[in-house]
Structure 1
Amino acid sequence: MNLARKTMNAPALAAVYERAWRPAVFYLASGRTTGTDRRDAVDALRLRGPQKVLDLACGPGNFAHYLSGYLTDGGFVTGLDYSPAMLAKAAADNAGPRVGYVRGDARTLPFADGTFDAVCCFGALYLIPDPLAAAREMIRVLRPGGRIAISTSFREDNLFGTVSTAAAGLSGLRLFDRDTFPDLFAAAGLIDIDQRVHRFMQYVDATRPE
């Protein structure tokens, strides 16, 4: 397990992730607040009614619990993460009537095809050992007509991007170029693909056609 993944599995990080670590690090990386990211997530996923939602690599549940507030009776958010420390924090701080948490591997999701109306992964794909396999799994469990949304790292196709990629790789982080996820989504047959770049972060969402 590389340094980045060890850090994300540490109980000490789980304790401060939602209130301090994520807001500070992601603001530096993107210029965006957690509140802005959460509101945009609701819009990107088109949350409404009794939808079934998967929040992949949910961490301490800071997004999963927020998203569940936009669902009606019958709707439910499943937060999945690999870290026991993060899941313990999620259960303690972000439980609710329309959200629950499960431990699992993003590369082999324990759900049937087309289980969810919306699937998301915010700020974690660059940590997963095989992020493209995880993205394909997200698409597999998304029902026709459903929405997928991710936020992940971004690098420019220039010398600075090359140096940044090498430096990030020393700790186990991946930086993705502009085409990786739009191309993957298009190859899987997704439509309405939209990408926004903010500093070192990219936000990509799409629809699985009916």
Structure 2
Amino acid sequence: MNLARKTMNAPALAAVYERAWRPALFYLASGRTTASDRRDAVTALRLGGAQKVLDIACGPGNFTRYLSEALSGEGYAIGVDYSEPMLARAVADNAGPRVGYLRGDARRLPFADGTFDAVCCFGALYLIPDPLVAAREMIRVLAPGGRIAITTSHRAANPIGEMSRVVGGLSGLRVFGARTFPALFAEEGLVEIDQRVHRLLQYVSATKPAH
């Protein structure tokens, strides 16, 4: 397990992740606040009503519970993570009537094809081994007409981008090019592909055709 993944599995990080670690790092990387990211996530996923939502690599559930609050009726959100300390923190800090948590591997999701109306992964694909396998799993469990949204690293086509790739590689963080996920989504038949870049992060969303 590389340094980045060891860090994410540390109980000490789980305790401070939502309140300090993530907001600070993501603001430095993107210039965006957690509140802005959460609001945009609800918009990108087009949440509302009795939808079933899957949040991959949910960490301590700071996004999962927020997403669940946009739902109603029989709607619910499930957060999946591999880290036991993160999931323990999610259950302690971010439980709710429309949210649940499950330990699992993003590369082998324990759900049938087309189970969820919305699937997301915010700030974790660069840590997951075989991230493109994980992305394809997300698409597999997405229902026709459903929305997928990710936030991940972005490597600019310049010397700074190359430097970010090298530095990220030393710690175990993958730094993806601009075309990696839009191309994958198109290859898998998704439509309405939208990509927005904010500094070192890229936000990509798409729709699985209804037919």
TM-score with structure 1 setting the length: 0.99
Percent identity, aligned pairs only?
75
CA distance in 2, matches of 1:208, 1:167: 34
Residue of structure 1 equivalent to 2:21? 21
2:42 is matched by which residue type in structure 1? V
- RMSD in angstroms over aligned alpha carbons? 0.5
In 2, the alpha carbon distance for the partners of 1:66 and 1:24 equals: 19
User: d(CA) in 2 for partners of 1:66 and 1:195?
Assistant: 22
Partner Cα separation in structure 2 for residue 99 and residue 18 of structure 1: 17
2:123 aligned residue: 123
Q: Secondary structure at the match of 1:151?
A: strand
Runs (5+) with no aligned partner, structure 2: none
Q: Report how far residue 167 of structure 1 moved.
A: 1.1
After TM superposition, give the deviation of residue 158 of structure 1 in Å: 1.8
Q: Distance in 1 between matches of 2:153 and 2:127?
A: 10
Name the residue aligned to 1:143: 143
Distance 2:105 2:172 in 1: 17
Answer yes or no: is 1:206 the counterpart of 2:203: no
Aligned residues: 210
Partner of 2:80: 80
Question: Which amino acid in structure 2 is aligned with residue 92 of structure 1?
Answer: A
Query: In the TM superposition, what is the alpha-carbon distance from 1:162 to its structure 2 partner?
Result: 1.4
Divergent runs of 4+, >4 A: none
- 1:16-165 → structure 2 map (5 Å cutoff): 16-165=16-165
For the residues of structure 2 that align with 1:163 and 1:202, how far apart are their CA atoms?
A: 17
CA drift of 1:163 comes to 1.8
TM-score (norm 2): 0.99
1 CA distance for matches of 2:60 and 2:123?
A: 13
Query: What CA distance in whole angstroms lies between the structure 1 residues aligned with 2:18 and 2:163?
Result: 30
Structure 1 segments unaligned to the other structure (5+ residues): none
Aligned position for 2:196: 196
Counterpart amino acid of 1:203? Y
Q: Kindly state the Cα deviation for residue 174 of structure 1 after the two structures are TM-superposed.
A: 0.6
Supply the distance in 2 between the matched residues of 1:94 and 1:117 (Cα, whole angstroms): 21
